[in-house]
Amino acid sequence: MTLVRSTGDRPPDERLDYWHEIVAESLVRLRISAAEGPAVVASLSVDDLGDLRLCSVRAGGGEVVRTPRLISASSEPLILLSLQTSGSSVVAQDGREALLRPGDFAFYDTSRPYSLGFHDPFTMTVLRVPARSLALPESTMRATTATVFRGDDGFGRLLSPFLTGLAAQAGSYHESARAELAGGIPELIRAAVALRAGQATPFREDAPGTALLAQIKQYIERHLDAPGLSPSAVAHAHGLSTRYLQKLFAREDTSPAAWIRRRRLEMCRRDLTRPASAHRTIEAVAFRWGFASAAHFSRVFKDTYGMTPREWRAMANEGPDRTA
């Protein structure tokens, strides 16, 4: 579920303080200067993706600074990836500056001072990654902070549209789906950072394939309710052969058909316990998520979960906790 917070919820003279609070709780503690002064107009949405966090920021001109004092009061080191989606910004860290335009992104490390400057209103997608999940030497990360990754070239061509799409759709995905979709991101970041640093890559050579698989999973999530969603349809939508699509999923010991079936079953199982879906028949829930046959749905549901959809719904409704 996406959490959206805005300074518009507070009186004008309280907004800058509230914006400090929002940013600190969602990303990291910063010193913020806003062109509008205390009456800053800004908003931030948050989606948690397992250990990662994806934030969409909208604000006016100004500057944010990560000072040594703020760093000393923090605990876990984080790596932030800022993807410019409108306007422009300048990221400064480790003696370098990176000018970001829409589609571009840069990394910076919250364990060292940095700043971001914005001359005009902007929007930005910020990915927060625990440094431990990247397992990169500090020297490697330091060599790539505040350098521009162009959105139309190299790893930027993979990451920029993927993160943009994920930020737009994450709120509609189930928690387990968000974690699955984000699973390949740290590996892709390791690949991008190592390549930029000119070092031997501390990642699997199939990192681009990992990113492609994540994009494909995102596509499947958006089309789960389409009865025509099939391995061949997914392959066609991505300009791939069905054989190569099978190969991508085989890396995770599954197949595209099994993945689609699993995600559809998970969404049906969720809806069968939701009060908002209580008026729907089991058949309607199955059809809602792309199953073409009620009998087939009941059979694969029982094979997967050890009980029929009717038994699952009855058991869930008898329990003390129900999902709204």
Dump pLDDT digits (tens) for 222-259.
889 998 999 999 998 888 889 989 998 998 889 999 99
Residue 92 lies in a domain: no
Residue 186 lies in a domain: no
Residue 273 lies in a domain: yes
Residue 268 lies in a domain: yes
20 — pLDDT class (breaks 50, 70, 90): very high
> Of residues 152 and 23, which shows the higher confidence score?
23
- CA dihedral 225→301→286→216, nearest 10 degrees, is 0
Residue 265 near residue 300 (C-beta atoms within 8 A): yes
Tens of pLDDT, residue by residue over 157-215, are: 888 888 888 888 777 777 777 777 777 788 888 888 888 887 544 444 455 566 678 77
Task: Write down the pLDDT at residue 170.
Answer: 75
Residue 245 lies in a domain: yes
Residue 43 DSSP SS3: strand
- Can you tell me the distance from the alpha carbon of 42 to that of 33, in angstroms, rounded to the nearest whole number? 12
Tens of pLDDT, residue by residue over 95-114, are: 999 999 999 999 999 999 99
Tens of pLDDT, residue by residue over 46-101, are: 998 888 999 999 999 999 999 998 998 877 889 999 999 999 999 999 999 999 99
> Domain span at residue 238?
224-324
Residue 276 lies in a domain: yes
Task: Write down the pLDDT at residue 162.
Answer: 84
Residue 265 DSSP SS3: helix
Q: Count how many domains the chain has.
A: 1
Q: What is the pTM of this model?
A: 0.66
What is the CATH classification number for the domain harbouring 310? 1.10.10.60
Tokens of 63: 């500057």
